[in-house]
Amino acid sequence: MTPIETEVDRIIEAGALGRSGTYVRLLRYLAEATGQGRIPKEVDIATDVLGRDDFDPVSDSSARVYMHNLRQKLDAHYASKDAGDGPTLSIPKGKYQLVLKPREAAAGKSNGQRILVSRWWVPLLAAVAGAMLTIIATPSIRTGPADAGHAFTQAPAWSGILDDNRAITIVVGDYFIFSEAHDGWPGERLIRDFSINSREDFRAWLQQDPDRRDDYVDIRLSYLPTGTAAALNEVLAVLRPTERPIQVVPQSRFRPEQLRENHVIYIGYLSGMGKLGQFPFLASRLQIGGSYDVLIDTETGTYYESGAGPVTTADVSYDDYGYLATFPGPSGNQFLYVTGMRDEGLMKMASTLSDAAIVDTLGNGFRSGGAPAFEALFQVSGIDRTYVAAREQFAAPLDVSEIWMDGPDP
């Protein structure tokens, strides 16, 4: 048995891959391929491991998502106390192969900072602090006449969207809610499960265990954080002088076919991105930590953790984090993410994007496939649910080939 195979067995026995047999098969598949001296391609992963016989790399990102998640699981395992001091397995970005390194060569030390550990799904009561029980179902908005002197056309964060007349789809991060059931009727408790982000997800969840059908019911409801509504207003202020149709849809009703033709702008919490969340983090130097209130910088090992969630005293200051990302899509369209861990980070990012003086140089020079492609993280100081100051932590380029593999269409 090779050293890589030995380490793979140790990782599996430690339970680092969870209960999913798919990640076990994927890790063993990579170990076998590495031992044979070959590097599988995306289509190999999709067909040999995931069983996607009709795999289409343009519309099906499942292989990239599973590889990204496997990297995160390996990183989390080696950051835990159970990993020991032996060698570490890693998967280099852009290659589907395993690399075994001595522990001292492994990157990603935590600098002694604490990571918040929590379950990724959290039941919520009906009274959700800082949220509106609502859903946006806005028809297409047509903005006013075009303005040749638009103040934002040269800003890297906006230029990929404002330099043409493509339609724009704005996706807002809402949260699907369902209810406990009593005798077939909604009960008193509303539930938010981070793995269930739409009615389709809810139906699939029920099908996995038919006994659940008597215990839970779809009440056709979702909620929208107040910060999302405020951020949407800021973004629309920038788009208003352009002449094109703009459609606003909730994440829970967003469909993958909308990714190809329109410019796509996401506005909401990190935890509300749903299917859209996979794309920036395929190329990002950041990864989601134990909860959506934690981001980990894989290059420096720094943990960024929001303190906005548990704050209850109005005169206590705390830190939140905001995140911006933009990159070209698969057909020359542009993606823009305006997001944060909580309201403070989200609203500050929207405010930054709507301030011509601040956003003008943000991400300057970072391009991929001929279009702006970068991410930026900001530390946002808050007090009483309001942001008061912000400081950029870093801005870095995004390699679009890591998102769409071969890059966008010419």
Using DSSP, state whether 337 is helix, strand or coil. strand
Q: What is the DSSP letter of 91?
A: -
Q: What is the mean pLDDT of residues 25-44?
A: 89
Contacts of 218 (CB under 8 A, 6+ apart): 178, 199, 202
90 vs 320, higher pLDDT: 320
In Å, how far are 65, 118, 218, 335, 343 from 267, measured between CA atoms?
A: 22, 24, 25, 11, 11
Average pLDDT, the chain: 81
Q: What pLDDT sits at residue 327?
A: 96
Q: What pLDDT sits at residue 333?
A: 93
126 vs 220, higher pLDDT: 220
Reported pTM: 0.65
Q: What is the pLDDT of residues 100-111, one digit of tens each?
A: 887 654 333 333
Q: What pLDDT sits at residue 59?
A: 63
Q: What is the DSSP letter of 57?
A: T
Distance (Å, whole) CA 63 – CA 372? 25
Contact in structure between 395 and 376 (CB atoms under 8 Å): yes
Contact in structure between 200 and 256 (CB atoms under 8 Å): no
Q: What pLDDT sits at residue 198?
A: 82
Distance (Å, whole) CA 240 – CA 227? 20
Distance (Å, whole) CA 62 – CA 68? 10
Q: What pLDDT sits at residue 183?
A: 75
Q: What pLDDT sits at residue 112?
A: 33
Pairing of strands 263-269, 168-172: parallel
Q: What is the mean pLDDT of residues 120-149?
A: 36
Contact in structure between 132 and 227 (CB atoms under 8 Å): no
The model's confidence at residue 306, banded by pLDDT at 50, 70 and 90, is very high
Distance (Å, whole) CA 308 – CA 150? 35
375, pLDDT greater than 70:
yes
Q: What is the mean pLDDT of residues 130-151?
A: 41
Distance (Å, whole) CA 157 – CA 133? 31
Q: What is the pLDDT of residues 229-246, one digit of tens each?
A: 999 999 999 998 777 889
Using DSSP, state whether 106 is helix, strand or coil. coil
Position 253, amino acid: R
Q: What is the mean pLDDT of residues 175-203?
A: 84
93, pLDDT greater than 50:
yes
Q: What pLDDT sits at residue 120?
A: 29
Distance (Å, whole) CA 87 – CA 360? 45
350 vs 212, higher pLDDT: 350
